[in-house]
Each structure stands twice: as C-alpha cells, then as structure tokens.
Amino acid sequence: MNPLKTVQVALKALNKNKMRSFLTMLGIIVGVLAVVAMVSIGQGASVSIQERISQLGSNLLFVRPGSTHRGGVHGGWGSRTTLKPEDAEAIAEECPSVEMVSPEVSTRTQVVYKNQNWNTSITGNGADILAIRGWRMEAGSFFRKGDVRGSAKFCVLGKSVVENLFSDINPMGEIIRIKQIPFTVLGVLAERGQAGGFFDQDDVILVPYTTAQKRLLGIQHIHSIVVSAVNAESMSSAEREISELLRRRHELADYEEDDFNIRNMADIQEAVTETAGTMTILLAGIASVSLLVGGIGIMNIMLVSVTERIREIGIRMSIGARERDILMQFLVEAVVLSLTGGLIGIIAGIVGSRVISSIAGWPTMVSAASIGLAFAFSAAVGIFFGFYPARKASKLNPIEALRYE
Amino acid sequence: MDNREDRKLIRAENLTKIYQMGEVKVVALRDVSFQVQGGDFLAVMGPSGSGKSTLMNIIGCLDRPTSGQYLLEETDVSKLDKKQLAYTRNKKIGFVFQMFNLLPRTTALENVELPLLYSNVPAKKRRRLAEESLALVGLAGRKMHYTHQLSGGERQRVAIARALVNSPSIILADEPTGNVDSHSGAEIMEIFKRLNNEKRITIILVTHDLEISKFAKKIILFRDGEIVKRKNI
C-alpha cells in the first residue's frame, strides 16, 4: 500500500472511534500545550528583559562588595561590609569619567498605612538616583541632597505599593510606618512595569540611604553604589578609575583580590538572560514530562487497540496484507494521533500564553522555532511509542489471529 | 475471470503437517496427495480434527507444510517468502470464512475493496471492480450499508464478493453456510454453483453437511489427517 493510502486508512480507523482517539490524544495535547506555554513565557521574559535593559542607560555601573559573584538581579547584596558612603563620595569627586553616584542599601519589610499593611522592598538611595536611572515621577517630588544629609524620614512610593496600601486614596503627604518608624510620602514613581515577568519593579519604596542606614538597618556600610559614566564610551575608563580608587581606599596590597566587583549593564543583562534562559529550560523540562506521559498513553492505547483488532489483523493478512502493511498502518495511526494532538496542543498553547499575558501581565512570545520543535517532538513521540505495538501487530500469526475471539 | 481447465491448478504431494503442542506431537496431516484442476468444485469433508482446516490453511498460503510439496499454478509455494505469500493470498486466493470476517464499522463496498487496496489498485478502478463484484452476488443495492446493518446471509455474500474481487484462481470456503439460516445457506450455495458453472471459478469447500456437499462435483473425505475416500459426483 502506498504511503498516502496508509494515512487514509489510518485516519479512517481513528475516525471510527473519535472518543477514544481524543482521549488518547489528551496526554499529548496537555504536554505540548504546557511546553509551548512555558517556553513562550520564558522567551517573552528574556526578550522583555533585554528590551528593558537596553532602554535603560547604557552608561550605568554597579559597584558591590565581595569579589566577583554571579547572580541575577535579585541576587546577593554581598555579606561584606567593606563599602562605605565615603567611597561613593570619593568616586564622584576623583573619577573624571564618572558623572553621578548614588549609594544604595536595601531591605524587605512590612509597611503599614492605617490598617493596611504590605510587605515590600525598601531601597535607600542618594538624591541623584532619578537622574542616574532615568526614572520619572508621576506625582509629588523626590527627596533632595539636604534630605539625605539630614536623614529625613521621607519616602517615594512605587505604583504597586500605592495600589496595595492606599487603593484610591491620594498618598501625597500621608504618613506610613516602615518598621514602626513614620515616613512622610513625598511622591509617587511613574510606572515601570514588570521586568521579565518575574518581578514587579513598581513594588518598591525609595528613602534616603542615610535614613535607611540609621533608622531601618542600623549599619554603617552600604550595599552597593550606582554610578553613571559621563557617556557610553567612557564606561571602561570609569570602571578602571573606580577600581584603582577603591583598591587604594581599601588599602589592598597588589597580590590581594578586589574586595568589590563592578558590573555594567551588559553584565547584568547577560546574567539575567542566562537565569531566564535556565528557568525556561527548567520549565520546559518539567512540561516535557507530561509529553512523555502522553507518549506512554499512546503506546498503551495502541497496545489495547492491537489486541482488540487481532481478528481484523488476521482478516487483512488473509486477503494479502504484508507484515509491513500492518506495521505501517498501526504506526501511522499512532503518529497521526500524536501529530493531531500536537497541533491541538500548539494552538491551545498559543491561546494559553495569550491568556496568561492578559491576566498575569507577563510578556509572552511564541517563536516559530518553538512551534516547529513542539511539532517535531509530537511526531517523534508518536513514532517512538507507536513502534512497539505496531510491530507486535505485524508479527501476529494470521491463523491464530483469525481464530481469536 | 476465467481459469484454464487443462492446467493443473493445485498439485499437492505428500503433504504432512506436525504441530508441537508442549510435549506432544500432533500429526494434523499425514502424507496427503491430491490434485485440483481449473473449474473444479471440490468438497472437503470429515469429522473435526480430521485435518481439513489444516489443509485449507496450507492451500490458502496461511501456513506451511512440515514436509511435502504444494504447487499452486506450477509454483512451489514452499519456496516463497512472507511477502510473496501475502501477494499470493491477495491475487490468487479468495477466502470465505464461516464467521464472515468482515471489517466492523465499514461499508459493504469498502469491505469488498479491501484486497484491491493491498494490490495498489487506483481508487476509481477499485470502486468499479468492487461494485461489479457486489452485483455478481446480488447485493448492488446494499453497497453503502455497514456491516452491522446486514443480515448473516448478506454478510456472507459480501465476503464472497470480496473473495472474488481480485479475480483469484481459487475460492476457499470454510463452512460458508455454518452461521446462516438454511434459506440463506441455499442462496449462498446457489451463488457458488453459478460462479463455478458460468464463470468457471474453481471452488474448494470445507463442510460436514452432506446436503451442502451435494452442490460440489468432487468429494474428498478426511479422517485422522489422511484422505480415506475420493468421489466424483
């Protein structure tokens, strides 16, 4: 029988028992759906991170204590206490390639407004942070150098904090308590959205770093320094200057390693993309397990199907079907099942990722490559798991098959 | 659809078939020799276990003898590989079983077309040949009916049409009337008689029913794996 005919015969056989065919496909559908949705979330995250990061200044440097340390954006603030605010001042004054600096400390804690509370991230910054980062205000004003010097208890809120603490009330001038200490709301940051779908950039409260050090954390050191270089071209000279300066200030001997690390945006972007990529693979891997289960389901049903149709196989053999005809018939049935399931799964996965996009707000991206891969996998699953039952069918003895009740 | 009468269609010489059932050896056929000419109508009779089904399986190329020679149209079947045996079953032999053995959830027409599918006949020709075959057994009007919508007698007639569709050299029928009522049984035997007389189709029929055997022209009687009597009617 030629291949086209085999496919038609297979389709006919599957069509005769639509319900069972559909139930068999269910495993594959769910598996492919999950893989497509997961990969689209992961890819959407990567692309969105890259877009966001490239939007940000390409002249930013981040100085952190501790030697080179891989980690994502959330990653460790360094357990070292070697970085001081005076280091930041020195960098601003003595490095010609550096334009502005902002010392930074961070923590997470409960904040309370009247009877509402919310757990969020508190970041202590210098007054220049807005200019350095290119952030905008939506309402009110940012704290000034004087406020920083005086450790004023002022704060600026991100949009998500406003939504969760204040709902529709205007937060301007209101008092919130951070770790029991009252802070006055000076302004609200403009919305920045979600970075890579994994964390909310608007879920943050900014305070002067001095206030954070003294009142919230009780520390003398700082967690990092955000630096803006004069322009994109002076990035490497800025890095060099900062490095030399800090080594001098920290009195490091020539043979000693840096007790700090300097990262630029590109490094961070790479690290984050890598993390997102790893997560995508992980998610896809987990989702693939259900694809595997779907394949096992196909194999089981095909085995049952072969057993149920032993008589039919005997009839076909008696009128001239060769072993190969029988093998191909059942194999094609399995592949048609898996490909159809794969197709439905892909469509459902695309729809699913759109739904996730609109509900959770995570960016998703379905690439042609991932669709092609999902398709190829479905076919492979069909061939692999369909082969054993098909072979079993083809090796039946026609006489015994005809006698089977 | 014609068979040449002078050619020896089947030449069976010293056919022996031995089965191994665990520890025991069962001799199903013992040194069986006979010949069939084109246009013959042969009835194979005998009690159960006498070896007639085993013989039919060997003639039908579903099984091989343990020893002996089986020549079908002067070709030594024992020299054929699985693929060639399948081809032989497709083109040269038409089976009619006691249990009809039609495909379920399939129309009469599709059932009859099935052997043509395996010999790669294109769709239009397939349909035409199948329709002609169904007409021969008087079922042209039922071609779109599904298997479960046909009576026992009709199903057997569809099976006969299927057996005929590839213009085989022989029709092998194993108790074809065993599962139908006597009226349908008579109809079916009339069809066989007509096919044999008018179209010169060679028919080998297994039966234990004396009345049925009277439709044939020759009888072979089996007992304990051997031919004990041959009779021309």
% of residues, chain A, pLDDT over 90: 32
A18 CB within 8 Å of a chain B CB? no
Q: Which residue has the higher pLDDT, A66 or B87?
A: B87
Spell out which residues of chain A touch residue B175, defining contact as CB-CB under 8 Å: none
Contact partners, residue A163, CB within 8 Å, separation at least 6: none
* Phi (first) and psi of residue B179, to 5 degrees: -115, 15
Chain A residue nearest residue B93, CA to CA: A319
One domain for residues A236 and A379: no
**Considering the domain B40-53+87-232 in this protein, what is its CATH number?**
3.40.50.300
Residues shown for chain B: 233
More confident residue, A370 or A159: A159
pLDDT at B180 over 60: yes
Coil, strand or helix: which one is A347? helix
Contact A229, A235 (CB under 8 A): yes
Same domain? A13 vs A161: no
Q: Please determine, for residue A326, whether its predicted confidence score (pLDDT) is greater than 80.
A: yes
A209 and A312 part of one domain: no
Has residue A13 got a pLDDT over 90? no
Answer whether residue A74 is part of any domain: no
Would the CB atoms of A315 and B103 count as touching at under 8 Å?
yes
B119 contacts on A by Cβ (under 8 Å): 320
Q: Is A319–B118 a contact, with Cβ atoms under 8 angstroms apart?
A: yes
Pick from A383, A332, A338, A385: nearest CA to A3: A332
Dist. CA A21–CA A385, nearest whole Å = 15
Same structural domain, A252 and A334: no
CA A198/CA A362 separation, integer angstroms = 8
A220 touching B (Cβ < 8 Å): no
Q: Does the CB of A14 have a partner CB in chain B at under 8 Å?
A: no
Grouping H, G, I as helix, E, B as strand and the rest as coil, residue B207 is coil
Q: Residue A296: CB partners within 8 Å, gap ≥ 6?
A: A27, A385
Q: Where are the beta strands (DSSP E) in A247-358?
A: 260-264
* A403 CB within 8 Å of a chain B CB: no
Token pair for A312: 């039919």
| Domain range enclosing A108 | 81-258
Q: How far apart are CA A85 and CA A93, in angstroms?
A: 13
For residue A326 the two structure tokens come to 């029988």
Judged by CB atoms closer than 8 Å, whether chains meet at B101 and A311 is answered as: yes
Query: How far is Cα A1 from Cα B82, in angstroms, rounded to an integer?
Result: 16
**Which chain A residues have a beta carbon less than 8 Å from that of B104?**
312
For residue A351, being part of any structural domain is answered with yes
On the question of pLDDT at A219 being above 50, the answer is yes
The pLDDT, as a whole number, for residue A120 is: 92
How many Cβ atoms sit within 10 Å of the Cβ of residue A218? 8
Handedness of CA B63, B66, B72, B75 (dihedral sign): positive
Residue B15: is its pLDDT beyond 80? yes
Q: State residue A231's pLDDT score.
A: 80
Strand partners, A225: A63, A103
How close, in Å, is residue B233 to chain A by CA atoms?
Answer: 31
Residue A290 shares a structural domain with residue A391: yes
Answer yes or no: is pLDDT of B135 > 90: yes
Interface size A-B, in CB pairs within 8 Å, comes to 61
A2 Cβ under 8 Å from any chain B Cβ? yes
- Report the C-alpha gap between B151 and B33 in whole angstroms: 38
| Residues of chain A numbered 182-211 and touching chain B (CB < 8 Å) | none
Residues in B closer than 8 angstroms to A321, CB to CB, are 86, 118
A395 touches chain B (CB under 8 A): no
Residue length of chain A = 405
- Residue A183: inside a domain: yes
Do residues A97 and A222 both lie within one domain? yes
Last residue of a domain, one of A203, A228, A258: A258
| 8 A C-beta contact, residue A35 and residue A353 | no
Q: Per-residue pLDDT averaged across B209-222, rounded? A: 91
- The 10s digit of each residue's pLDDT in A69-86 is 444 443 444 457 888 899
Q: Please tell me whether residues A353 and A382 are part of one structural domain.
A: yes
| Same domain, residue pair A15 and A147 | no
Domains contained in chain A, number = 2
pLDDT digits (tens, 9 = 90+) for A30-47: 888 888 888 888 888 777
Cβ pair B118:A325 closer than 8 A: yes
Q: Rounded to an integer, what distance in angstroms lies between the CA atom of residue A172 and that of residue A140?
A: 7
Higher local confidence (pLDDT), A5 or A140: A140
The rounded distance, in Å, linking the Cα atoms of B190 and B184 is 10
Contact B129, B205 (CB under 8 A): no
Q: Which residue has the tokens 């939506």?
A: A138
Residue in chain A closest to B166 (alpha carbons) equals A319
* Phi-psi category of residue B120: left, alpha or beta, with phi > 0 → left and psi -120 to 50 → alpha: left
Contact of B190 with B13, CB cutoff 8 Å: no
Please say if the pLDDT value at position A262 is more than 80.
Answer: yes
Query: Do A106 and A228 sit in the same domain of this protein?
Result: yes
Q: Look at A43-57, B12-26, B157-171 and tell me which has the smallest mean pLDDT.
A: A43-57
8 Å CB contact of B97 and A9: no
Mean pLDDT across chain B: 90
Q: How many CB atoms lie within 10 A of CB B228?
A: 11
Q: What is the mean pLDDT of residues A297-302?
A: 87
Question: Averaged over B46-56, what is the pLDDT?
Answer: 88
Average pLDDT over residues B151-173: 94
Phi-psi category of A129—alpha, beta or left, where left has phi over 0 and alpha has psi -120 to 50?
alpha
> With contact defined as beta carbons under 8 Å apart, do B150 and B110 qualify?
no
Residues A187 and A325 both lie in one domain: no
CB A68 within 8 A of CB A243: no
In terms of DSSP bridges, do strands B218-223 and B67-72 run parallel, antiparallel, or are they unpaired?
unpaired
Question: With an 8 Å Cβ cutoff, is A309 touching chain B?
Answer: no
Contact A1 B120 (CB under 8 A): yes
B residues 105-164 lying closer than 8 A (beta carbon) to A: 105, 114-115, 117-120, 162
pLDDT for the residue numbered A182:
94
Distance CA B177, CA A400 (A): 22
Nearest Cβ partner of B82 from A2, A316, A322? A322
Point out the domain boundary residue: A258, A291, A322.
A258
Report the SS3 class of residue B11.
strand
Which residues, including other chains, have CB under 8 Å from residue A78's CB and lie 6 or more apart?
A64, A65, A66, A69, A223, A224
Structural contact between residues B112 and B161, judged by C-beta atoms closer than 8 angstroms = yes
Q: Which residues contact A35 (CB under 8 A, 6 or more apart)?
A: A284, A287, A288, A291, A345, A349, A374, A377
| Tens of pLDDT, residues B160-169 | 999 999 999 8
| CB pair distance less than 8 Å for A399 and B104 | no
**Same domain, yes or no: A151 and A175:** yes
Indicate if A32 and A137 belong to the same structural domain.
no
Is residue A68, in this structure, part of any structural domain at all? no
**C-beta of residue A87 within 8 angstroms of C-beta of residue A225:** yes
**Cβ separation B118–A317 shorter than 8 A:** no
Q: Which of A317, A390, A331, A306 is nearest to B114 (CA)?
A: A317
Beta strands B8-21 and B67-72, pairing class: antiparallel
pLDDT at B116: 93
- Picking from A229, A258, A287, the residue at the C-terminal end of a domain is A258
Retrieve residue B185's tokens.
């049984």
Q: What is the CA angle A212-A200-A179, rounded to 5?
A: 30
- H/E segment holding residue A7: helix A3-16
